[in-house]
A and B are shown apart, each in its own frame.
Chain A
Amino acid sequence: MAGSALRRLMAEYKQLTLNPPEGIIAGPINEENFFEWEALITGPEGTCFEGGVFPAKLVFPPDYPLSPPKMQFTCEMFHPNIYSDGRVCISILHAPGDDPMGYESSAERWSPVQSVEKILLSVISMLAEPNDESGANVDAAKMWRENREEFDRIAEKIVRRTLGIPT
């Protein structure tokens, strides 16, 4: 069914190119393989990630949009819902069947009407308000709860690094 997945991805790419949401750019890394995208998302304003441009890789399954893509930040990240290797833990990216944390209702999970744009918008709002119940990165979750200043300092460092500005 890679044919229909390809058509849908092409349509999404077109839409994201013609009407890009503020601060989001996404597209195939190389059009030889349309199932691997790179996305750039801008840190939401008023948060500790403000101003940063975070690159992430999206890998789509052959039966997309029936199954969700996988998303992984390719820059260094420090966030309660992002694993230390950059993988994003967010309910919209979980297939309806699996529930790793055991508390998500299926309504928040993946459905074929979701899209790359919606995923990226969700990730932006996740950056703004971490869900510290699902600790993908326990250290970050702990620091977010207990030592916000230190958390902000680390985030600031990451933001500078993504912009290529010496810290």
Chain B
Amino acid sequence: MPVISVDRLPLPNLKAYSCVSVLALSACVYYAIQAIKEPNWNTMSDTGRRATPNDFERYNPGYNGTEADARTVGQFVSDIFTVMIREPVCVWTMINMAFCWLILLGRAVQKLVFGELRVSEHQQLRDKFWNFVFYKFIFVFGIINVQYIDEVLLWCSWFSLLGFLHLLSQLSKDRFEYLSFSPRTPFWSHVKLMALLATIFALSGFMFVVSIFVGFFGGFNTFAFMSAEVILLSIRTLHIIIRYALHLYDIRNEASAPLNSAEESKVWEKRGPISYYAELCFDLTALLIDLVHHLHMLLWSNIFLSMASLVVCMQLRYTGYLFHEIQRKYKKHRNYLWVRNHLEQNYPMATGKELQENSDNCAICWEKMDSARKLPCLHLFHNTCLLSWLEQDTSCPTCRLVLDIQNPSSANMESPELQNDPQENVRRPFNHFFHFDGSRYVSWLPSFSVEVSHVQAIRQNHIAASNSQLDAMARQVQTLFPHIPLSTAVEDLRSTRSVELTVENVLEGRLTAPVIFRETEREPSTNHRPMSVLQGDVEPAGAARNWDEFSTENVECEDTASLGSRFSKSSSEREKILQKRKEHLVHQARRRYIEKQRASTRTELQS
């Protein structure tokens, strides 16, 4: 992700900016109104678009343009427009106003759909915005090398629209990811976000039509340049929409799960591959289009070698990155397919009887199993859950039995699988830094620096642990008896060589946890009498005061303790209960601590 830091760019606030824009526009309109009051304003132009039939009336100084004029309002407006088009200052003001409208529209959408933006969203939005502006600046001046102001204007307006939609879709994506972290999002905000995404998608379709239309006149290159970004935008938006839909489906499923759990689990099993393939297709298409777009730009700018080698260099870098990404995705997909085939061929699905015997939930997702795959170690998991785990690690999640999933291509080929890819290990995220000092060329140009850093998930080699069986067994023991430290369990297992025997040892008290782990039952001491003698000379004053508080708080704490056995349906209540439980724990710990100190000082005094 390219990261841009802009420090020295002065940005006026929106209110001031829109006020100034509106003022400027009204000044222009006023100028235009004044201008068309002139008798032969239209003759100044050589277009001769309109005759001026009502010259007489316009001589009248008290003439009111809208009411007394025979011309219709529409004509009047178009007159004003004609005047303004002719005046360069007015044109700039109108463009400025259009930008202002766009920003205001964006703000309105933000208020309506997103409400207050979170800090990270703000940050990302800003980064994305400057990034977009920067790349498009390079594109317009460096690659297409536009010569005429009209063309620049057209490209600018095209890209500002596009950028606007890009930013909105990015924002929706961030917000969707955020909402998916919370179980209690109101239904309404999902609807709003979905509506926004659908609108963005529709608009991008419309822009695509426009780009076809323009390309029809402007040639293939223009079409390709224009449409690439649009297609990217629509693909990304569609991707978010589908992910969102799947997520909503998940959430709804959860609500209706008890009703038709068998059916649900069937759908659930199918859902894994669907979402995987959707993800893969969208990612790959987006990357491919991006790659083609960049190659196209590269060829184009090589022919014209316009701005600087820097641009070409950056493009090359980025193209290389895209290429690498695609390669990585492809390898990952091959790995996925391999693991899936391996699963299907080597590990049978559990039979109904086995499922009944094993009444546990799937240990990966903690949900009920209506169908499951069985590993050689007899552990059962959901097919989808198991698949996604084995993609990254080739051992049984429960007992750590190393499964023999070796991709043959990695064994006999030079370029091995993703998981065993040495390149993958060596590759470091690379950064490059670009500083643009505008004031060197023209004093008012801004200066900014861009740091493009590519963060890639570095996957490392998985080393199969051959001597891990002992640890695995110890861990099994520990899951049964968490209070037995791992080292103790391992010690015992060394002699017993069997989980069952060790478990027996623990149960019969032959193997005990070190003293520190033994839990001693404590009863809340309610009959404590403050000992003024001790308090006076040994205890810190603060502690004494605390103790007095606790004796009164005790009553309140006792009934909060019972809250522990409830799991409320309402999230706010859950939060409250959790808070109380935390307070209770701290209170009790404090009380015990003070009590203990008191006891130790007492024994000290006695001796």
Contact = CB atoms under 8 A, between A and B. Distances in A.
B306 interface: no
Given A125-B485, A164-B590, A66 B388 contact: yes
B564 A17 contact: yes
Interface string B517-548: 11110000000000000000000101100100
Contacts of B247: 2-3
Interface in A1-59: 1-4, 6-8, 10-14, 17-18, 20-23, 25, 27-28, 30-35, 38, 40, 42, 44-47, 51-53
B539 to A, nearest CB: 10
B378 to A, nearest CB: 14
Given A40-B582, A106-B463, A31 B575 contact: yes
For the side of the interface on B, what is the size category? 35 or more
Contacts of A27: 574-575, 578
Interface stretch (A78-86, A110-118, A147-155): A110-118
Interface in B368-401: 385, 388-389, 392-393, 395, 397-398, 400
Interface stretch (B53-61, B325-333, B471-479): B471-479
B465 A106 contact: yes
A33 B246 contact: no
A138 interface: no
Nearest to B246: A3
A14 B177 contact: no
Interface size class on chain A is 35 or more
Contact of B471 (A20, A66, A108, A160): A108
Nearest to B463: A106
Interface stretch (B139-147, B163-171, B358-366, B438-446): B358-366
A30 B183 CA distance: 11
Contacts of B309: none
Interface stretch (B288-296, B404-412, B591-599): B591-599
B365 A8 contact: yes
A35 B183 CA distance: 11
A33 B183 CA distance: 8
Contacts of B385: 112
B177 A2 contact: yes
A65 interface: yes
B181 A33 contact: yes
Interface in B423-457: none
B468 A107 contact: yes
Nearest to B577: A17
A101 interface: no
Contacts of B363: 112-113
Contact of B585 (A1, A42, A95, A160): A42
B242 interface: no
Contacts of A20: 564, 581
Given A17-B567, A97-B459, A105-B468, A25 B590 contact: no
B366 A31 contact: no
B516 A45 contact: yes
Q: Which of A7, A13, A42 has most chain B Cβ within 10 Å?
A: A7
A96 to B, nearest CB: 4
B388 A45 contact: no
A143 interface: no
A8 B543 CA distance: 42
A68 to B, nearest CB: 12
Contact of A107 (B250, B465, B514): B465
A51 B585 contact: no
B482 A10 contact: no
Nearest to B461: A97
Interface of B: 177-178, 180-184, 246-247, 250-251, 254, 275, 363-367, 385, 388-389, 392-393, 395, 397-398, 400, 459-465, 467-469, 471-472, 475, 479, 482, 485-487, 514-520, 540, 542-543, 546, 564-567, 571-572, 574-575, 577-578, 581-582, 585-586, 589-590, 592-594, 596
23 contacts: A2-B181, A2-B247, A3-B251, A6-B180, A17-B566, A18-B567, A20-B581, A31-B183, A32-B182, A45-B518, A53-B585, A65-B365, A66-B392, A99-B460, A105-B471, A106-B400, A107-B400, A107-B475, A108-B486, A121-B482, A125-B486, A125-B517, A165-B546
Given A25-B581, A45-B518, A112-B363, 10 more contacts: A7-B366, A17-B577, A31-B572, A32-B184, A34-B183, A97-B459, A107-B465, A125-B486, A163-B593, A165-B593
Which are the 7 A-B pairs with shortest beta-carbon distances?
Answer: A3-B250, A46-B516, A107-B468, A107-B471, A2-B180, A96-B393, A31-B571
